[in-house]
A and B are shown apart, each in its own frame.
Chain A
Amino acid sequence: MQAMAIEQQGWTVACARSDLVANSGVVAWVEGVQVALFYLPDGEQVFAVENRDPLSGANVIGRGIVGSLAGDLVVAAPLYKQHFRLQDGTCLEYPEQVLKVWPVRVSGDVVEVYLGG
């Protein structure tokens, strides 16, 4: 019941928990926004970042490889291989490229994203 209350304040169901792929990404369509969801079973972490790759203009970030560089969890964009930090969406190679990131949580069987109030 608590979850329902928060959902009304901006949390939206993105997909089923079983839709996530371990150590990889999937893309959900959340209120007209393309959200890439990455799931790392080690520490049960989920990240929600913008699916649009600013360099190519294509919606492909969710199909990048997840990795760790100098302690940061990152995703490598699949077309030109630049790296974005999953934590805050900053790009390691091009500071002017930033991906939006959203709070995300696993709530029972579903994954929820906080797109803003």
Chain B
Amino acid sequence: MNSTNERQTLVVIGNGMVGHHCVEQLVERGALAHYRIEVFSEEPLRAYDRVHLSEYFGGRDAESLALGEAGLYQTPGVTLHLGVPVLEIDRARNEVITANGCVPYDHLVLATGSYPFVPPIEGAAGDSRLVYRTLADLDTIQAAAKNARRGVVVGGGLLGLEAANALKSLGLEAHVVEFAPRLMPVQLDDNGGQALKARIEALGVSVHLSSGTQSITPGSDYRYRMNFANDEFLETDLIVFSAGIRPQDALAKACELDLGARGGIAIDSQCRTSDARIFAIGECAAWNGSIFGLVAPGYQMARSVAAQLCDAVGLSDDSAVPFLGADMSTKLKLLGVDVGSIGDAHGATAGARSYRFIDEATSTYRRLIVSADGKQALGAVLVGDNSYYDTLLQYVQNGIALPADPATLILPQGSAAPALGVDALPATATVCSCHNVSKGAICCAIDSGCSDLAALKTSTKAATGCGGCAGLLKQVFEHELSARGVAVDKSLCEHFAYTRQELYSLVRVGGIETFEDMLARHGKGHVGCDICKPAIGSILASCWNRPIQEPWLVPLQDTNDTFMANMQKNGTYSVVPRIPGGEITPDGLIAIGAVAKKYDLYTKITGGQRIDLFGAQLHELPDIWGELIAAGFETGHAYGKSTRTVKSCVGSTWCRYGVQDSVKMALFIEDRYKGLRSPHKLKFAVSGCTRECAEAQSKDVGVIATEKGWNLYVSGNGGMRPRHAELFATDLDDQTLIRYIDRFLMLYIRTADKLQRTSVWRETLEGGLDYLKAVIIDDSLGLGAELEAQMQLVVDRYECEWANALNDPEKLKRFRTFVNAKGGDPDIHFVKERGQIRPMQLDELKLISAVEVV
């Protein structure tokens, strides 16, 4: 087919999740050597995550919802035309026609998606006819919600409940109106629907079932009145329709491609339409007459098409897997409520029998549907607790023989949970359905050297789609490691057979204050090592906050903590005085400048709004700090795994946009947590308005001012693996903000692994952000007061370590380059560059006499 070297043109219409995945797959497989890819998108934004759309109102912006790397569409050979709808497909000429002109194609992929179905109802228009599908729709809803008190969603399915969540997070009184007699009629049975209704109503969302809207007229207390049958009605300020989706097949219809009986572009198992040059994938396609409204089947189609296009030019190493329908099992969290639906959830199979567990006290429901002979699981329904999902899904998908008493699979799990061992899964079992990763593929990755979960996710992409399989992936990973004789040894080191978390509890519960005591009571040997000493030194500091220069603590510290400065490559140190919130007086600047000049130190402004002074030798540190402390400075703890900086913008004091005094809050936060030692460094920031000039969303703790108070973000991270902080709580007053930060930091200190930043800690937390909110905001573990008291102890014991050391001649004895001679290390040489010193490089040393030596 591709006998010439000329590249063929592949046009992709639609840049939604599925269209994007197809392009990503093509590029990954090397298709750009043979194809030029032109992507047309009606929307003005590149592909974004529609599954997590409701988080847009929770503080996520368009960029953080965007899929994949922006760089993908800058790859030569790939062109993304945003905001350019395709008007027509000319199949005779093999061209697509857009407002900007015609583009000829060799192959065409339709990934046009779907649109929300709005039933024809008299009077529905404007704010009484909103839809919930795109980011632009969300902006419209947000604008409509400005002056609204109550909002109604028409449609009690998956998307409708998502939309209700969105209305709720906009602060509206939310109602759901469903035509059917139960919620989520496709996925749930009657009992499941009832349990879900009870839970959702407990959250303050009203549910109206069996209610068909006849007409919409002006209301008396609210803007609109929805009239149902039987003279019932409901008044509201806005109405969002989420009553199902319809395939976006207009282009296909206009160019006379075959359509499915109930709409959708008809495709075969190769995802080909009735025109061999044209493929259709995702929600616009109808396979065997069915539309698949989930992302995983769409991704399957995208992969199949990408593989076929690569096959056609001799690229492929794995032949294309045909699309033969998809499992519609889903696991969701709707309005914070777990909902799961697996396989034949309605027990439609002939002879199917059910086991049911109903707990009306907590509105929890589970149903397991088994075959007539009771040997195979056919389906399941879960409401309230999805921890059963992974196991049940594997039973259904892989035809695993049921236990003698299948009911145990859905009964409340005591301490001995009858979970299906992951070893029972066959190698073909799909672990991640978004990226089609089997257990076998995971085992291969482990065999080829993936030794941690993060690397496994990167190399296989498992758990990077919807993330629903993260728990299962972790189980498979740990099981496979132990099966390979790699003991999943969680010992800190050879001296302590405990994790950092366990060591923390031992220190805390035993009131242990020294390393020797710890080693004697819980460790092995008499010495320890460079792993356990700093780790336990850090735990002791987090718990008791004694000056780290105390003789029993000194040998535990890394050199940076021992000498309270940062060792640089040539053995000299850098010094960072604390500049709280980045606010400094001219006199302060002059004092730092004078010290830098006197000791000839290289100076550089840091990313945390302070000044780093480089090139000090050990014996110079006390003199330098004597002068800095005399000028009013304190240690900045740049050397410690501890609170570093609180970055701030000038806020409402100076800025015309500022809505709160961000500098004042930054100063308060920095003053409170300075000197707090933790498993890893801690960075903070406070922004005075939503423009976010202090970059709080890249910090461990980020605070952003709102009209009403402060929004708190947690677990952000810059560095090697950047991570956006997540919105944790909104519109807090000062006291609540500090209380939440106290609890957050102490919980992190208590439960994180050694050298684990808050971002990674948060990602490994079972239960994720919701769990964190429950513990910190709702105090679900009853730990709140204890965490706050522990923080208060650390705060009360704060003392500048440098001031402490300077007052003690014994401690100062450590700050000598040589214990038996004055002066510095004669092997340290500097040269001048751009008006300042820098370490001499090895190749310059040979020319030592020829360069300017300081």
Residues of A within 8 A of B (CB): 14-16, 19, 21-24, 26-30, 34, 37, 40, 42, 52, 56-60, 63-70, 73-74, 76, 78-79, 81, 83
Contact = CB atoms under 8 A, between A and B. Distances in A.
A78 B567 CA distance: 8
B817 A81 contact: no
Given A26-B819, A59-B825, A60-B571, A66 B559 contact: no
B200 to A, nearest CB: 54
B796 to A, nearest CB: 29
Contacts of B494: 69-70
A65 B533 contact: yes
A69 B529 CA distance: 7
Nearest to A52: B827
Nearest to B557: A65
Contacts of B531: 67
A30 B820 CA distance: 9
Contact of A29 (B526, B533, B558, B821): B821
A21 B820 contact: no
B794 to A, nearest CB: 24
Interface in B267-304: none
B527 A66 contact: yes
Most chain B beta-carbon contacts within 10 A, residue among A28, A70, A83: A28
Contacts, number: 100
A63 B365 CA distance: 62
Most chain B beta-carbon contacts within 10 A, residue among A19, A42, A58, A64: A58
B interface, over-half SS: loop
Contacts of A65: 529-530, 533-534, 555-559
A24 B825 CA distance: 20
B413 interface: no
B567 A21 contact: no
Given A19-B819, A67-B528, A74-B529, A58 B571 contact: yes
Contact of A76 (B530, B562, B563): B530
Given A23-B555, A59-B571, A60-B559, A28 B820 contact: yes
Contacts of A28: 818-821
B413 to A, nearest CB: 42
B810 to A, nearest CB: 10
Interface in B541-557: 551, 554-557
B529 A68 contact: yes
Interface size classification for chain B: 35 or more
B491 interface: no
B567 A79 contact: yes
Nearest to A43: B526
A23 B527 CA distance: 8
Most chain B beta-carbon contacts within 10 A, residue among A60, A65, A73: A65
Nearest to A63: B559
Interface string B808-833: 00000110111111000101100000
Contact of B530 (A14, A15, A22, A81): A81
B530 A21 contact: no
B321 to A, nearest CB: 46
Nearest to A57: B842
A78 B639 CA distance: 13
A76 B531 CA distance: 10
A23 B528 CA distance: 10
Contact of B820 (A14, A58, A63): A14
Contacts of A73: 527
Contacts of B819: 15-16, 19, 26-28, 37
Interface string B209-244: 000000000000000000000000000000000000
B265 to A, nearest CB: 60
A69 B534 CA distance: 15
29 contacts: A15-B819, A21-B554, A28-B818, A28-B819, A28-B820, A29-B818, A30-B820, A37-B819, A52-B827, A56-B570, A57-B842, A58-B569, A58-B571, A58-B827, A59-B828, A60-B559, A60-B571, A63-B559, A63-B562, A65-B530, A65-B534, A65-B559, A68-B495, A68-B526, A70-B494, A74-B529, A78-B559, A79-B569, A79-B571
